[in-house]
Amino acid sequence: MSILSGKNILLGVTAGIAAYKSASLVREFIKAGASVKVVMTPASKDFVTPLTLSTLSKNPVESHFYEKDNDNELWNNHVELGLWADYFVIAPATANTMSKMANGTCDNLLLATYLSAKCPVYVAPAMDLDMYIHQSTVNTFAKLKSFGNIIIPATSGELASGLVGQGRMAEPNEIVTFITSDILSQLPLKDKKVLITAGPTYEALDPVRFIGNHSSGKMGFELAKAAANLGAQVILVTGPTNLSLTNNLITVIPVISAEDMYVACHEHFKSIDIGIAAAAVADYRPKKVAVNKIKKKESTLTLELEKTKDILASLGAIKTHQFLVGFALETNNEIEHAKSKLIRKNLDLIVLNSLNDKGAGFKTATNKVTLIDKQDSIQEFPLKSKTEVAKDIINEIIVRYA
Ligand code: CTP
C-alpha cells in the first residue's frame, strides 16, 4: 500500500504541452489508492480535455468560478476544494501560473484554490530551457519555496521547441515517487523499525487439534497500519487470523504457536526501535503433543499443560534502546494489575483493556483503553474503533519515544 492510499489529491493542470501527461498522472495517483479531483486553468483545456481527466479521476473537473447547469448557475467553491485536498499537485505548472502564484494573482479557479489551500503544495514546472533558467523564473521558484511550496525539478531532454535542456516536466511516475519520498521523509516514524505481535497462538494437542483463543488480530493489524502510515518499517508477527494486508512498509511473519512467535520476535528484536505486544499469546500449552490423532478411548481425558515462554517479559529482560509496549486484559483491580505487569515485564507503556467495559477486548471492532506509562501517568480514552485506538496508541508512543 502506498502512503498516498486514502489521501485526497487535488491535481492542478495549467496550459503547457506536458498537460497530456496529466492523464497518466491521475492514473498513477488512483493506482496508489488516492482520491483525485482536477482543477484546470481555462487555457489548459486546449492541451487535454476535461472529459479525459474527469473519466480517469472519477470526479467532475472544475475550471470556472461557476458552472451553467441548464438555467442555473452553480458556484464552484474554491475554498471547499482547497480544504478537501490533503495534497495539491500542480502539474504541469507553467511559468505564467507560477509567477501568478508567487504574486497572489487570483484570476482563475486554480489560483483561487491555491490561495485557499492549507495543505502541502507540490509544483512540477514545465517550460522551455531558456524560460526555466530566466532570472524571473529563478526568483519565482525562490518565492514559492519561501511560501513552503515544494518544487519537483524539471528534467532534461528534448523539449516541445525541439531544443534540448532542462524544462521537461518530470514523468508522472517520477512525480509520484518524489511526492511519496517527500511525505515519508517528514513522517515521525521514518527510519524507525517497529515490531508488533498480533492475533492468537495455537498450541497443538495432536496433528489435528489445538488450544487457541478468540483473538481476531484486529488490534495488532490496525497498529501495524497506523505505524506504517507514519512512516515506520513494521514487522508484524501474527498468529493465525483471517486478516491480510498489503503494504510495502509492513512485513508479515505468520506463526502458529507461542514458541514460533517467541523465535520470530527474538530474531528481529535487536534491530527494532519500538516493540508492541498485542498478541493474545497462550499462557499454557500441552506438555506432550501426540504424534497421532488422539482416539476417544476413555470417558475423560486429562491434559497436562506447561507454561509457554512469556515473549514480552523476555524482550523486556534484554531491551536496551527499544521502547516496549504491552497489553493487559484485566477483569478486576485493573490499574493495579496493569501497573504491576508494566514493572514485571520492564515496559515503557502498557495498554489496559478492562473486560468490564462494553465494546472492549476480543472479537469487537471497538476498544476502550487506558494507557499507563513508566512515569505512572494514567490516560483514559473513550470507546473508539480499533483503527482510531491504534492511532491514539501510536501517537502516545511517539510523544514519549521521539
Ligand atoms: N504476552 C506475551 N507472551 C506470553 C503472554 C503474554 O508476550 N506468553 C504479552 C501479551 O501480548 C500482552 C502482555 O504480555 O502484551 C500481557 O499478557 P497477559 O496474558 O494479559 O498477562 P500475563 O502476564 O500473562 O498475566 P495474567 O495472564 O496472569 O494476567
pLDDT score of 356: 78
User: pLDDT digits over 97-114, tens only?
Assistant: 999 999 999 999 999 999
pLDDT score of 164: 87
- Eight-state DSSP code of residue 270: T
Give residue 253's pLDDT band: very low, low, confident or very high (50, 70, 90).
Answer: very high
Identify whether the C-beta of residue 279 lies closer than 8 Å to the C-beta of residue 197: yes
Distance CA 29, CA 177 (A): 11
Is there a cis peptide before residue 92, judged by omega within 30 degrees of 0? Answer: yes
Overall average pLDDT of the 316-340 stretch: 96
CA of 308 to the centre of ligand 1 (A): 10
pLDDT greater than 70 at residue 354: yes
Looking at ligand 1, which atom is closest to the CA of residue 325? 15
pLDDT score of 155: 94
**CATH for 8-185 (3.40.50.150, 3.40.50.1950, 3.40.50.280, 3.30.499.10):** 3.40.50.1950
Atom 27, ligand 1: which residue's CA is nearest? 283
Please report where in the chains the cell 497498529 appears, as a residue.
223
pLDDT greater than 90 at residue 169: yes
Long-range contact list for 296-305, CB < 8 A, 24+ apart? 303/205, 305/211
pLDDT score of 358: 78
Give residue 359's pLDDT band: very low, low, confident or very high (50, 70, 90).
Answer: confident
Atom 17, ligand 1: which residue's CA is nearest? 328
What is the radius of gyration, based on Cα positions, of the chain?
27
Mean pLDDT for the chain overall? 94
- Eight-state DSSP code of residue 132: H
Overall average pLDDT of the 53-80 stretch: 81
CA of 281 to the centre of ligand 1 (A): 7
Atom 23, ligand 1: which residue's CA is nearest? 341
Looking at ligand 1, which atom is closest to the CA of residue 282? 8
Give residue 298's pLDDT band: very low, low, confident or very high (50, 70, 90).
Answer: confident
End-to-end CA distance of the chain: 25
Cβ of 341 closer than 6 Å to ligand 1, yes or no, is yes
pLDDT score of 259: 98
pLDDT greater than 80 at residue 337: yes
Cβ of 217 closer than 6 Å to ligand 1, yes or no, is no
Looking at ligand 1, which atom is closest to the CA of residue 309? 8
pTM flag (> 0.75): yes
pLDDT score of 68: 65
- The answer to whether 8-185 and 193-291+303-401 have equal CATH topology is yes
Residue ranges covered by each domain of the chain: 8-185, 193-291+303-401
pLDDT score of 360: 72
Cβ of 329 closer than 6 Å to ligand 1, yes or no, is yes
Residue 22 amino acid letter: S
User: pLDDT digits over 76-86, tens only?
Assistant: 677 788 999 99
The kind and range of the H/E element at 189 are none
pLDDT score of 70: 62
Percentage of the chain lying above the pLDDT 90 cut: 84
Residue 50: C-alpha distances to residues 41, 45, 53, 86, 93 (Å): 11, 7, 5, 22, 17
Looking at ligand 1, which atom is closest to the CA of residue 327? 15
Give residue 377's pLDDT band: very low, low, confident or very high (50, 70, 90).
Answer: very high
pLDDT score of 162: 86
Atom 14, ligand 1: which residue's CA is nearest? 312
Cβ of 336 closer than 6 Å to ligand 1, yes or no, is no
Q: Which three cell numbers stand for residue 221?
A: 493489524
Cβ of 326 closer than 6 Å to ligand 1, yes or no, is yes
pLDDT score of 73: 66
pLDDT score of 65: 81
- In this structure, the strands spanning 378-380 and 369-373 are antiparallel
Fold of 193-291+303-401: Rossmann fold (3.40.50)
Cβ of 279 closer than 6 Å to ligand 1, yes or no, is yes
CA of 310 to the centre of ligand 1 (A): 7
361 vs 77: which has the higher pLDDT: 77
Looking at ligand 1, which atom is closest to the CA of residue 337? 29
Q: How many CB atoms lie within 10 A of CB 106?
A: 16
Lowest pLDDT segment from 9-23, 70-84, 187-201, 206-220 = 70-84
CA of 227 to the centre of ligand 1 (A): 22
Question: Which residue among the candidates 76, 213, 247, 346 is catalytic per the annotation?
Answer: 213
CA of 258 to the centre of ligand 1 (A): 11
pLDDT greater than 70 at residue 72: no
CA of 311 to the centre of ligand 1 (A): 8
Closest CA to 149 of 82, 102, 111: 102
pLDDT score of 20: 96
Decide if 213 is catalytic. Answer: yes
CA of 302 to the centre of ligand 1 (A): 25
Sheet containing 369-373: which strands, arranged edge to edge? 250-254, 233-238, 193-198, 274-277, 323-330, 349-354, 369-373, 378-380
User: pLDDT digits over 13-47, tens only?
Assistant: 999 999 999 999 999 999 999 999 999 999 999 99
229 vs 88: which has the higher pLDDT: 88
pLDDT score of 163: 84
355 vs 132: which has the higher pLDDT: 132
